[in-house]
Amino acid sequence: MASPLYSKGLVLILAICIAFSTLEASEPPLTLAYYKSTCPTVLDIVRKEMECAVLSDPRNAALILRLHFHDCFVQGCDGSVLLDDTITLQGEKKASNNMHALKGFRIIDRVKNRLESECPGIVSCADILTIAARDAVILVGGPYWDVPLGRKDSKTAGYALSDSNLPTADESLLSIISKFIYQGLSVTDMVALSGAHTIGMARCVNFRNRIYGDFTMSSGISPLSQQYLSKLKSVCAPMKGSSDNNESAMDYSTPNLFDNSYYQMLLRGEGLINSDQVLYSSALAVQTKKLVAKYAENAVAFFEQFAESMVKLGNITNDDTYVNGEVRKNCRFVNT
């Protein structure tokens, strides 16, 4: 049993995190009309390419949304996640939190190629990814939001930051909160943005500890929950090995539809990964538990907050890019 001093320490940390949760992401020099005169068709081109991508495979929506999140949490939304390794640059793609987790790069390549044909040297890869993430959500039933534009592409990447800044599947609630607050995002933003897990897949290595740990404790012994758990165990063995990369939908109810069923799963104790379920089941989930219940009951409230939080996420910029950044010709490489 934890000592009273330890418990008080956790409560103090949580209080500090909640107090700072009113911090706002920094306001960058972005505008809705940034490409009005230089590339007026940018939004149409991105939308058409995303329509093709999602129509061919609805899971592509989640891939692009995840790429955007991983980009913005590492030195801001600057397209650094798109960079390949070279002799002189170590990209972020092979960082432990990104390897095997990030896909969809070819979709961004196709969008970039179209835009370079239409408006050469004008639209940054960072802006392309931000617009594409918005369109991805819309195409699977999610909300619309206006995307401020004008980001520049970085000439550097943050390999080490990918491992320190990004939340992991088995992370504690307080640690996740602190990582969002570090980015200028609130507890409310964290819970709303976590709702992106209503689409997409998770690998066995990320939910093994959950299904062989406290899943039954949080979900109870209802027949449906036990049936779901049995299915998860059939694709994910208890020991590391050949099943590590097997995948399961993070929202088994409506895996290709952006809705609020993710939060309803948390209410039932059926969150696939630990870092999701702690939003509702942790002893410290005072504020987050109320938000989960709110969004589970009210899809409109979730959509409104998700849209607002996505704008804040996209506004996390890399200030250095406005001095030393560029508009890449190829999203995978710095211009020569």
Annotated active-site positions, please?
70
DSSP codes, 231-262:
HHHHHS-SSSSTTTT-EEESSSSSTTS-SSHH
Residue type at 122 in one-letter notation: I
Query: 201: which DSSP letter?
Result: E
Tokens of 33: 């009309």
- To the nearest 10 degrees (0 to 180), the angle between helices 274-281 and 204-211 is 40
Contacts (Cβ under 8 Å, ≥6 apart) of 106: none
Q: What is the largest CA-CA distance in the chain?
A: 64
Handedness of CA 253, 256, 257, 259 (dihedral sign): positive
Query: 326: which DSSP letter?
Result: B
Contacts (Cβ under 8 Å, ≥6 apart) of 22: 186
CA–CA distance, 46 with 185 (Å, rounded to integer) = 27
Tokens of 287: 């504020």
Residues present in the chain in total: 336
Tokens of 54: 């999602």
| H-state helical runs in the chain | 4-19, 42-56, 60-72, 105-118, 125-139, 159-165, 173-182, 187-194, 204-211, 215-219, 223-235, 261-267, 274-281, 286-297, 299-314, 321-324
Task: Count the Cβ atoms, other than its own, within 10 Å of residue 94.
Answer: 13
Tokens of 247: 């995948």
